[in-house]
A and B are shown apart, each in its own frame.
Chain A
Amino acid sequence: MTDLSSQFQQQIREAVENENPVNLVGGNSKSFYGREARGDSMHVAGNKGIIDYEPTELVVTVRNGTALHELESVLAEQGQMLGFEPPCYQNSATVGGAIAAGLSGSRRPFSGAVRDYVLGCKLINGYADILSFGGTAMKNVAGYDLSRLMVGSMGSLGLILETSLRVVPMHEMESTWCQEVKSDQVIGVMSAMLQKPLPISGLYYDGARLFYRLYGTADAIAQSANTLGGEEYASHDQLWSDLNHQKSDFFQDKTPLWRISVAPATEQLPLSGQCVLDWGGALRWLKTDEPAEQVFQTVADVGGHATLFREGKRDEIIFQPLPPDLMQIQQRLKQAFDPMSVFNLGRMYPEF
């Protein structure tokens, strides 16, 4: 339990006064993600500890430097979990980093994204003010929702000091089932499954096999599996953990890896390369040598957005280019939080 907020505030005050940009570093487990930020590294993982956790309130308040796996094990002791199944690429991954990156795992279409679980946060903005937004209440509409805005902002709006997260009970039981499905049929199969009220908590296609994770009582799982068909898959935990933490063979490659977010029933995109589908088709991981412009354009044509997730050229465009109006409002928001441009410059877009 260490509270370094005053020290951080002082460091940021100096950075602002000297117009000296800082590159916020938590557990350094996602340093590959996004563009390279300009500025000196400021290490923030030392601010750690669970401040408050009351299982019956379904809320935990944690400092940003708390290791994700530590938080998850504390929750597990109470039969609870983070409903968004955050990826953890290295053991050093922190809660602050998970919020700033805003990445959610396979449960996302069924139980929500990181931002859906953020109830409040305390942060330092580019005026070196310590601010609190939201709180620990499940419902709160007092003021603009600035805590959710922090999710996925890649540290560019300020330093997150603390976050209050809603937590959920673990399911009584979960198991995974698997069947072979042809790639030209898989979108239709998944879409049909998702229109039914089935207790699904994961739906993933590896290019040949469709995996679905079911939850509930043993009877409920058996009944749903019976409806859906397929065989029970033995390495259940391993499968989802390898997918979310990108440990499976698919992710061990030097080909540029793209994260593509589209409407789930979008047919296979006309892009070469190898692709797996998570989130029932709404999240697609594509390994391709296609030029970045080609990927961005193809995905934009179907109303989605693409991110060059790993490998590829980091100093170029990583996140989906924005239409000019949208880019302008994002730049103004950045300014609203960080007028002297000290936080994670260029990590998201070259413009800010």
Chain B
Amino acid sequence: MTYQIHSSERIHHSANRAEFITCLTEILPAQSVLTEIEELKPYECDGLPAYTQVPWVVVLPETTEQIQSIMKLCHQQGVPVVARGAGTGLSGGALPLSNGVLLSLVRLNRILKLDIANRTACLQPGVRNVTISQAVEQYGLFYAPDPSSQIACTIGGNVAENSGGVHCLKYGLTVHNLLKITLVTADGALLSLGGEGLDGPGYDLLALLTGSEGMLGIAVEITVKLTPIPEAVNLLLAVFGDIEQAGEAVAGIIAAGIIPAGLEMMDNATIRAAENFVKVGYPVDAAAILLCELDGARVTVNAETHRVEQLLVEYGASEIRLAVDSGEQQKMWAGRKAAFPAIGQISPDYYCMDGTIPRKQLGAVLKHISELSVQSGLAVANVFHAGDGNLHPLILYDANVPGELEKAEQLGFDILVYCVKAGGTITGEHGVGVEKINAMCVQFSAAELEQFHRVKAAFDPAGILNPGKAIPTLNRCAEFGAMHVHADVRHSHLDRF
């Protein structure tokens, strides 16, 4: 459905479209400025197809200088801009504006420099995530953050969303793997954040920019840290007849002082869908499975594998499978990595949530989700980055049935509110975008939201970068009527949620 931007978040301008397009064609070749409806239509949404908006105009720059000129023009005329990478984002962060420029970064797709001695790569924002690791594999290195969309998503988008992946428990998120960003600001200037070393001078703007959803600037050069490929990798699959036992096993592994490279959980609904989709031999009767990947020096990995196997048995695993060669491991991972499309095959539509909770709350949260699911009449399948408490409930619905999308949105919102109450957050890695902007009113107080707006204004006083995303206006929150429900960690054991 066409998304209606909140009136308080709309940036008004009086630029004439035809004249503005003429100005753009002075900066870019005519074929890099898209203006016809059939050219604009493919950009009407990102990875969240529930909301659409045909952009005013699309530009496809190829150089930093062109981006600077575009921003100077937009700044001068007060025209808002939405930057977009591959458009795989799941929260509508790259949803266009009816009166704004959609700035696609996919043509800036070159690896600018590989510095093996310093283990870094300098990239243009349109470089796809997976190509970084492919380019440096010959040097025994890889780029650690690996979101499931890594074959398509771009590093620029990863920076904007602070993307994670199945290995971030051990190797960190995008923010932990960045060294330097060159940024085009809202008025078209260039800023260099971070440095060639492991930190930069002054305030840590590199951390601030990471995950800022394209609202503070546009990253045009990104230097990332590369990591040596571990000597050995083992992957364990453990089968549980009870999902809470699986949750306890996760806590048990962490308590034993082991940090797996990845620790993932799938519930029965997801196991069935994944098995149906990829046929890798997942146990379809299991209440839950855990995938636990261990990597490092061969002898250490073997010792840890032994220890984890013991723990899994202690915590009630009914079966444990070990994959030591990479072919078997890929097969074992395939179902997890394809979980979303697998759900897509069993349901006409699904709505993916991204709440994060303290691991110990898993049992309570899953129980509550299942109650909410019964109440709403929509099924929910759960995929869980168990190691870091990031839960992806997938709400199954059919957009063609009148009212089901609204029901799915309401159920999603109720799940997020519960995550906040349980001491968690509304988004672990997918970003707020437009999708969770109302839920921000729940998680933050007015004073906190005002602080966010002041930070935004420090970078973009006119508010032309990605307006209406990530941070709600106080007007929106007042209208929405949400009450801010800060969790109090001191009393999180109380059964009041």
Residues of A within 8 A of B (CB): 51-52, 54-59, 61, 79-80, 102, 108-109, 112-113, 115-116, 125, 127, 129-133, 135-146, 148-149, 151-153, 157, 168-170, 172, 191, 194-199, 216-217, 219-220, 223-224, 261-266, 279, 282-283, 302-305, 307, 319-320, 322-323, 325-327, 329-330, 332-333, 335-337, 348-349
Cβ A141 vs Cβ B161 within 8 A? yes
| Contact A264-B118, Cβ < 8 Å, known A56-B251, A140-B427, A196-B228 | yes
Cβ B451 vs Cβ A51 within 8 A? no
Which residue of the partner chain A has the closest CB to B200?
A305
Cβ B200 vs Cβ A138 within 8 A? no
Complex contacts, A266 vs chain B, CB 8 Å: 196
Q: Specify which of A146, A263, A282, A336 is in contact with B457 (CB 8 Å cutoff).
A: A336
| Contact A132-B448, Cβ < 8 Å, known A54-B360, A197-B231, A263-B197 | yes
Give bound CA distance, A115 to B424, whole Å: 20
Complex contacts, B200 vs chain A, CB 8 Å: 261, 305
Given A51-B490, A283-B197, 5 other A-B residues pairs in contact with their CB atoms under 8 A: A115-B204, A139-B168, A139-B388, A144-B471, A195-B140
Which residue of the partner chain B has the closest CB to A133?
B448
Cβ A143 vs Cβ B440 within 8 A? yes
Min C-beta distance of B453 to chain A, whole Å: 9
Complex contacts, B190 vs chain A, CB 8 Å: 325
Which residue of the partner chain A has the closest CB to B202?
A330
- 16 A-B pairs within 8 Å (CB atoms) are namely A52-B490, A54-B358, A112-B172, A116-B172, A129-B451, A139-B385, A141-B431, A146-B452, A148-B208, A151-B204, A169-B257, A191-B117, A194-B119, A197-B140, A261-B197, A330-B205
Give bound CA distance, A283 to B198, whole Å: 8
Q: Looking at the complex, which of B39-47, B277-285, B297-305, B323-331 is the stretch in contact with chain A?
A: B297-305
Complex contacts, B478 vs chain A, CB 8 Å: none
How many B residues are at the interface, by size bracket? 35 or more
Give bound CA distance, A180 to B462, whole Å: 58
Min C-beta distance of A349 to chain B, whole Å: 8
Which residue of the partner chain B has the closest CB to A157?
B203
Give bound CA distance, A42 to B281, whole Å: 64
B195 proximal to A (CB < 8 A): yes
Cβ B207 vs Cβ A115 within 8 A? yes
Complex contacts, B162 vs chain A, CB 8 Å: 141, 145
B29 proximal to A (CB < 8 A): no
Complex contacts, B199 vs chain A, CB 8 Å: 102, 113, 152, 261, 305
Complex contacts, B176 vs chain A, CB 8 Å: 112, 116
Complex contacts, A57 vs chain B, CB 8 Å: 254, 358-360, 389
B164 proximal to A (CB < 8 A): yes
Which residue of the partner chain A has the closest CB to B252?
A56
Give bound CA distance, A49 to B436, whole Å: 34
Complex contacts, B185 vs chain A, CB 8 Å: 325, 329
Min C-beta distance of B122 to chain A, whole Å: 11
B176, B207, B430: which has the most chain A beta carbons within 10 Å? B207
Which residue of the partner chain A has the closest CB to B211?
A141
Q: Specify which of B257, B258, B457, B489 is in contact with A51 (CB 8 Å cutoff).
A: B489
Q: Which of B94-116 contact A (CB under 8 A)?
A: 115-116
Min C-beta distance of A122 to chain B, whole Å: 10
0/1 string, B447-468, CB within 8 A of A gives 1:
1100110111111000000000
Complex contacts, B390 vs chain A, CB 8 Å: 137-139
B322 proximal to A (CB < 8 A): no
Cβ A146 vs Cβ B430 within 8 A? no
Cβ A326 vs Cβ B202 within 8 A? yes
B241 proximal to A (CB < 8 A): no
Give bound CA distance, A92 to B67, whole Å: 50
Q: Specify which of B140, B168, B448, B489 is in contact with A52 (CB 8 Å cutoff).
A: B489
Min C-beta distance of A110 to chain B, whole Å: 10
Cβ A195 vs Cβ B119 within 8 A? yes
Q: Which of B243-268 contact A (CB under 8 A)?
A: 251-252, 254-255, 257-259
Q: Which of B75-110 contact A (CB under 8 A)?
A: none
Complex contacts, B210 vs chain A, CB 8 Å: 145
Cβ B255 vs Cβ A333 within 8 A? no
| Contact A261-B195, Cβ < 8 Å, known A143-B452, A337-B454 | yes
Complex contacts, A195 vs chain B, CB 8 Å: 116-117, 119, 139-141, 228
B169 proximal to A (CB < 8 A): yes
Cβ A136 vs Cβ B255 within 8 A? no
Complex contacts, A141 vs chain B, CB 8 Å: 161-162, 211, 427-432
Give bound CA distance, A57 to B388, whole Å: 9
Complex contacts, B202 vs chain A, CB 8 Å: 319-320, 322, 326-327, 330, 348-349
Q: Specify which of B173, B211, B357, B451 is in contact with A337 (CB 8 Å cutoff).
A: B451
Q: Specify which of A131, A138, A145, A194 is in contact with B388 (CB 8 Å cutoff).
A: A138
| Contact A303-B229, Cβ < 8 Å, known A143-B440, A335-B458 | no
Give bound CA distance, A109 to B118, whole Å: 11
Give bound CA distance, A194 to B430, whole Å: 32
Give bound CA distance, A187 to B230, whole Å: 23
Q: Specify which of B115, B139, B356, B448 is in contact with A131 (CB 8 Å cutoff).
A: B448
Q: Which of B133-172 contact A (CB under 8 A)?
A: 139-141, 161-162, 164, 168-169, 172
Q: Specify which of B432, B459, B487 is in contact with A142 (CB 8 Å cutoff).
A: B432
B72 proximal to A (CB < 8 A): no
Min C-beta distance of A184 to chain B, whole Å: 15
Q: Specify which of A108, A137, A172, A304 is in contact with B358 (CB 8 Å cutoff).
A: A137
Give bound CA distance, A329 to B456, whole Å: 11
B443 proximal to A (CB < 8 A): yes
Complex contacts, A197 vs chain B, CB 8 Å: 140, 228-231, 296-297
Cβ B259 vs Cβ A169 within 8 A? yes
Min C-beta distance of B464 to chain A, whole Å: 16
Cβ B457 vs Cβ A139 within 8 A? no
Complex contacts, B230 vs chain A, CB 8 Å: 197
Shortest Cβ-Cβ A-B pairs, 7 listed: A303-B196, A169-B257, A138-B388, A139-B428, A148-B207, A261-B197, A332-B458
Q: Specify which of B119, B195, B297, B427 is in contact with A303 (CB 8 Å cutoff).
A: B195
